[in-house]
Structure 1
Amino acid sequence: MKKKLLFLTMATVLTTTIAMSGCAKGGNSSSNGATVKIASVSPLSGSQAAIGESIKNGAKLALTERSDEFKKLNINLQFSPQDDQADPKVGVSVAQKLIADKDVLGVVGHYNSGVAIPSSEIYKNVNLAMVSPANTAVAVTERGYEDVNRICTRDDVQGPVAADFALSDLSAKTAFVIHDKTTYGQGVADEFKKRFADKGGTVAGYEGITAGESDFSGVLNKVAQVKPDVVYFGGMYPEGSLIIKQMKEKNITAKFIGPDGMDSAEVVKIAGDSSKGVYYTTMAADVSLTDAGRAWAEKYKKEFGNQPENYAIYGYDAMNVLLDGLKKAVQDNGNKKPTQDQVTKAVRSIKGFKGVATTVTFNSKGDNEDAVMFISQFKEAKYPPSVIKTITAKDYLK
């Protein structure tokens, strides 16, 4: 019996030794190289989940494609998707969790400027690099934080572009401006209002609604009274789509113009045929307009089983920008895992990045000097809409 126990004990030791030896030689990838986590933060639940999920998926696809590239640098990439619920308080809570994990060296996000601004106040405490695919509020980069960047343009471009389009292309003389009282929605609405008035247009009304509401009879009755040429809405697609639908029901013939918050297939689902003729400005056009974009969209569909929303490609490009910065930081650090500060500096130094959707060159504020703006129109109740005009954002930047 003692011999049998001795034999079993020796066998167990031998098996354990072999297993440990196998791990040391690379049998287990998790024991080789340093772990680096890259987070995406967007609304994955609630009314804006469709866009938030697409941004997450785009970011995930980019990281997955480059995983082997980083393994050669002795870096094991891990994807860490987070749900901020389009809520500033939740965003701050997520940010606090992320900065507590020293393996997190970058964030792709957020989608809502009103969430990004307070969340980035947390990221700056450890200088954690943030590359936003979609935040347009001026204050996002005007605070001068080294770690905050965006690959899209700003509301002081987006609002004026829409105003110029209304005045010149639509020959509008009067506009009624509605906003959803959020940092993003009111910010872009104010930029439109100022430009429209400065260029000789008349602002016939200016009203705020509350995000989450569904009956906009009160404000639309005011619109019907003044009969403007255009209605400009600063806000997101859940409310904007209902406004479009209810305008049609009230026989309001004013043309509807919105910002990039209206860039979603959900517009057609909510507004139906009322979406025909609707205009919006966006940083993300239909990717199928280019050969590279079509190939990417097919790859996305194969991976996730559905067509990408336009901002999915911006999640993809934002992740690749961040990974380019990470790669440079690794190489500059003697092919060792860099610090959060080193990654932040490397990301800000990026110039001439060629993505599928956009080129990226960050200026000293973290704004993309190469950003473009598109004006799209639903010529039929079908997503994505048609791009009818392309504007270089640099022409509008101060």
Structure 2
Amino acid sequence: MKKSALSLSILAALALGTASAQTTVKIATLSPLSGGQSDLGTQIRNGAQLAVNEYKAQFQKLGMNLQLVAYDDQADPATGTAQARKIAADRQILAVVGTLNSGVAIPSSQALASSHVAMVSPANTANQVTDRGLSNMNRIVARDDAQGPAGANFITGNLKAKKVYILNDKTAYGEGLAKEVEKALRAKNIQVVANEGTEEKSDFSGIVSKIKLQRPDAIYFGGIYNQVGVFIKQLRDAGIDTPVVGGDGLDSSELATIAGTGANNIYFTTVAAPIDALPAAKVFAANFKKTFNDEAQGFGAFGYDAAKVVLQGILNAARANGNKVPTREQVEAAIRKGTFTGLLSGRVSFNSVGDRTAATLYVMNVQGGKYRLATRIPVKPARQ
């Protein structure tokens, strides 16, 4: 009995010694985990967590204890920047998956740049995110200058619209997308009757009245599902069934919930593929459901892919560093220069400013509250 207890004590001591020899390595997520956009932000965090769960064993073999720490940016640039400074102060964090919102990514990535904390975004589309040329900012999704024209082409080619009313939510994301759509429509000699910015969240009666008078063939709204869903509900309640088109900010199951019985004749381009459009996502979706008791959405899959890029980048940097914990600068360089495979969305590599060298856009249709894939569009950034 005593011998057994002694043996157990020795084993426990050895286990503690092994645990203490492990160096903690962290990656962070930065996305809205509270507020009106938390549905998508939580998808990103949870997708990243699944990737971390898968990679833990590989890191343990190198003597590293891999952890994910999640930061809530509340979809707010000031909050995101403050959180970015906290991330920079934690030297164990080597890279970040995020953000959801371009307006948050721009100042947050700038705040992390001097500390060389690499970011890989699963969602940001504004051109300015990468056009600034920061060495730490990368994205695995298409840009607004691809998404905007794709939306405009759908409006003219599929909806055959000749007169379009454009709205935006006055954020870097919404304004940037609306600007690209307007530019592409005008190039096709389509009449753009307005490009109106609004921060309204609850009462769109004034805008609905103007739309009723203008009688456009299509409405484009550069914004996020929680705002656009309310607008669509009020638009349909007013008896207006005009097609509403938007960008990837509409890519949430909550859009149909908010729009209610008005969730018809809605189209949106999205950079995050629907799960059923990703052949490799079946196992991922099952694991997501089992782990979080929630259905995986597009941004969950792209949060997973962005995290895999980050984790493979860290492992590549570690191997080049003699299997030791790499520096942030080494991770930053490994991510920008790497080629990453085994992802749900396909092979990833980045150009000189951090744009994915080959991405895909998807056009979704919401009819009767149900989502279906309308078409897919391969795109490449103008700069390679």
Fold-level match, TM-score > 0.5? yes
Residues 352-374 of structure 1, C-alpha deviation per residue, up to 9 Å, x if partnerless?
A: 53311343111111000121000
**Which residue is 1:93 aligned to?**
82
Answer with 347-356 or 153-162: which moved more. Answer: 347-356
Q: Per the alignment, do residues 22 and 395 of structure 1 end up closer, same or farther by CA in structure 2, a change over 3 Å counting? A: closer
Choose from 377, 389, 392 the match for 2:378. 392
Residues 258-308 of structure 1, C-alpha deviation per residue, up to 9 Å, x if partnerless?
A: 100000010111001211221000012221234421221111101111111
Q: Per the alignment, do residues 375 and 26 of structure 1 end up closer, same or farther by CA in structure 2, a change over 3 Å counting? A: same
Choose from 190, 195, 201 the match for 2:179. 190
Residues 339-363 of structure 1, C-alpha deviation per residue, up to 9 Å, x if partnerless?
A: 0000000000122533113431111
TM-score, normalised via structure 1 length: 0.92
In the alignment, residue 232 of structure 2 is paired with which amino acid?
I
**Which residue is 1:116 aligned to?**
105
**Which residue is 1:339 aligned to?**
327
**Which residue is 2:292 aligned to?**
304
RMSD of aligned C-alpha atoms? 2.0
User: Counterpart of 1:200 in 2: which secondary structure?
Assistant: coil
Is the Cα contact below 8 Å between 1:348 and 1:362 reproduced in 2? yes
**Which residue is 1:3 aligned to?**
none
Alpha-carbon distance, 1:19 to partner = 6.5
**Which residue is 2:124 aligned to?**
135
TM-score, normalised via structure 2 length: 0.95
Q: 1:268 & 1:396 partners in 2: Cα distance? A: 34
| Unaligned residue ranges in structure 2 (runs of 5+) | 1-5
**Which residue is 2:150 aligned to?**
161
**Which residue is 2:3 aligned to?**
none
Corresponding residue pairs, total = 381
**Which residue is 1:11 aligned to?**
none
Q: 1:293 & 1:319 partners in 2: Cα distance? A: 15
Q: 2:73 & 2:365 partners in 1: Cα distance? A: 30
Q: 2:382 & 2:268 partners in 1: Cα distance? A: 17
Q: 1:262 & 1:113 partners in 2: Cα distance? A: 14
Q: 2:381 & 2:139 partners in 1: Cα distance? A: 18
User: Counterpart of 1:106 in 2: which secondary structure?
Assistant: strand
Q: 1:58 & 1:119 partners in 2: Cα distance? A: 21
User: Counterpart of 2:280 in 1: which secondary structure?
Assistant: helix
| Unaligned residue ranges in structure 1 (runs of 5+) | 1-14
In the alignment, residue 69 of structure 1 is paired with which amino acid?
Q
Q: Per the alignment, do residues 291 and 140 of structure 1 end up closer, same or farther by CA in structure 2, a change over 3 Å counting? A: closer
Q: 1:397 & 1:288 partners in 2: Cα distance? A: 30
**Which residue is 1:8 aligned to?**
none
Alpha-carbon distance, 1:28 to partner = 5.2
Is the Cα contact below 8 Å between 1:329 and 1:342 reproduced in 2? yes
Q: 2:49 & 2:257 partners in 1: Cα distance? A: 26
Residues 306-335 of structure 1, C-alpha deviation per residue, up to 9 Å, x if partnerless?
A: 111221000000000000100000000001
**Which residue is 1:263 aligned to?**
251
Q: Which has the larger radius of gyration?
A: 1
Answer with 272-281 or 260-269: which moved more. Answer: 272-281
Is the Cα contact below 8 Å between 2:233 and 2:262 reproduced in 1? yes
Is the Cα contact below 8 Å between 1:41 and 1:108 reproduced in 2? yes
Residues 204-229 of structure 1, C-alpha deviation per residue, up to 9 Å, x if partnerless?
A: 11211105x21111112111111011
Identical positions, percent: 41
- Correspondence 1:149 to 2:134: no
Residues 19-48 of structure 1, C-alpha deviation per residue, up to 9 Å, x if partnerless?
A: 69955x443554123211100010000001
**Which residue is 2:347 aligned to?**
359
In the alignment, residue 387 of structure 1 is paired with which amino acid?
L
**Which residue is 2:167 aligned to?**
178
Is the Cα contact below 8 Å between 2:123 and 2:272 reproduced in 1? no
Residues 237-256 of structure 1, C-alpha deviation per residue, up to 9 Å, x if partnerless?
A: 01101111111111223210
User: Counterpart of 1:176 in 2: which secondary structure?
Assistant: strand
Is the Cα contact below 8 Å between 1:216 and 1:243 reproduced in 2? yes
- Correspondence 1:292 to 2:280: yes
- Within a 5 Å distance, the mapping from 1:2-151 to structure 2 comes to 23=13, 25-27=14-16, 29-151=18-140
User: Counterpart of 2:35 in 1: which secondary structure?
Assistant: coil
Is the Cα contact below 8 Å between 1:359 and 1:371 reproduced in 2? no
In the alignment, residue 216 of structure 2 is paired with which amino acid?
P
Is the Cα contact below 8 Å between 2:357 and 2:381 reproduced in 1? no
User: Counterpart of 2:203 in 1: which secondary structure?
Assistant: coil
User: Counterpart of 1:355 in 2: which secondary structure?
Assistant: coil
In the alignment, residue 237 of structure 1 is paired with which amino acid?
Y
Is the Cα contact below 8 Å between 1:207 and 1:219 reproduced in 2? no
**Which residue is 1:274 aligned to?**
262
Q: 1:28 & 1:135 partners in 2: Cα distance? A: 43
Q: 2:9 & 2:88 partners in 1: Cα distance? A: 35
Is the Cα contact below 8 Å between 1:26 and 1:32 reproduced in 2? no
Is the Cα contact below 8 Å between 1:41 and 1:110 reproduced in 2? yes
Q: 2:18 & 2:254 partners in 1: Cα distance? A: 41
Q: Per the alignment, do residues 50 and 28 of structure 1 end up closer, same or farther by CA in structure 2, a change over 3 Å counting? A: farther
User: Counterpart of 1:214 in 2: which secondary structure?
Assistant: coil
**Which residue is 1:323 aligned to?**
311
